[in-house]
């Protein structure tokens, strides 16, 4: 017979293998992009096409920062780009952060960068900083102070040019 410690180590091995996905999860799950360090796609079960990515995600592990860019080929990409999350309610925070431990990101010191487009068709990168006392994120939208992830910024500029061409 197996003792409790052996069973706990076995279960921990499943969690550590990054192959554990909650079947009925309403949160984002992250899949590594093969060939790129710290680059992921994120999807959720709310999406009608289960497993279809919603975001590109880049993790700056050493700085505890997570960058979100709406997925390029998403059907409702405009809505994703134009709707910045508030990250004030626990449900909304959990949607993005539930699997942070699997990504080696610590919630209490984390920053989230969300790449989007304002109504006046200008690019915006919203920076959210986690406040451990309030248990929520506060937003800082001053683009001049931001250190963005250059490939996401370039892609955002391309999407902005594409949307401008549609009008």
Q: For 97-120, write each residue's pLDDT tens digit.
A: 999 999 999 998 899 999 988 878
Q: For 78-92, write each residue's pLDDT tens digit.
A: 677 788 898 988 889
Q: Rounded CA gap, 126 and 114, in Å? A: 5
Instruction: Centre a 10 Å sphere on the Cβ of residue 165 and count the other Cβ atoms it contains.
Output: 7
pLDDT at 41: 92
Write the burial class of residue 113 (CB in 10 Å: 0-12 exposed, 13-18 middle, 19+ buried).
Answer: buried
The 3-state DSSP class for residue 52 equals: coil
Q: For 54-76, write each residue's pLDDT tens digit.
A: 899 999 999 999 999 988 766 66
pLDDT at 75: 61
Q: Nearest to residue 41, comparing CAs of 79, 86, 62, 72?
A: 72
Contact 147, 127 (CB under 8 A): no
């Amino acid at each position: 017979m197996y003792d409790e410690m052996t069973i706990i180590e076995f279960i921990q091995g499943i969690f550590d293998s990054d192959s554990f996905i909650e079947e009925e999860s309403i949160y984002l799950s992250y899949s590594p992009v093969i060939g790129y360090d710290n680059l992921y796609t994120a999807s959720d079960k709310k999406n009608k096409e289960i497993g279809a990515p919603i975001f590109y995600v880049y993790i700056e592990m050493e700085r505890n920062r997570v960058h979100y860019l709406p997925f390029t080929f998403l059907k409702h990409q405009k809505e994703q780009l134009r709707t910045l999350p508030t990250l004030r309610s626990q449900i909304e925070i959990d949607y993005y952060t539930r699997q942070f431990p699997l990504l080696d990101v610590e919630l209490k010191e984390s920053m989230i960068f969300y790449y989007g487009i304002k109504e006046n068709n200008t690019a915006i990168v919203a920076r959210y900083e986690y406040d451990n006392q309030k248990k929520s994120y506060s937003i800082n939208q001053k683009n001049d102070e931001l250190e963005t992830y250059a490939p996401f910024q370039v892609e955002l500029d391309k999407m902005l040019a594409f949307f401008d061409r549609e009008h």
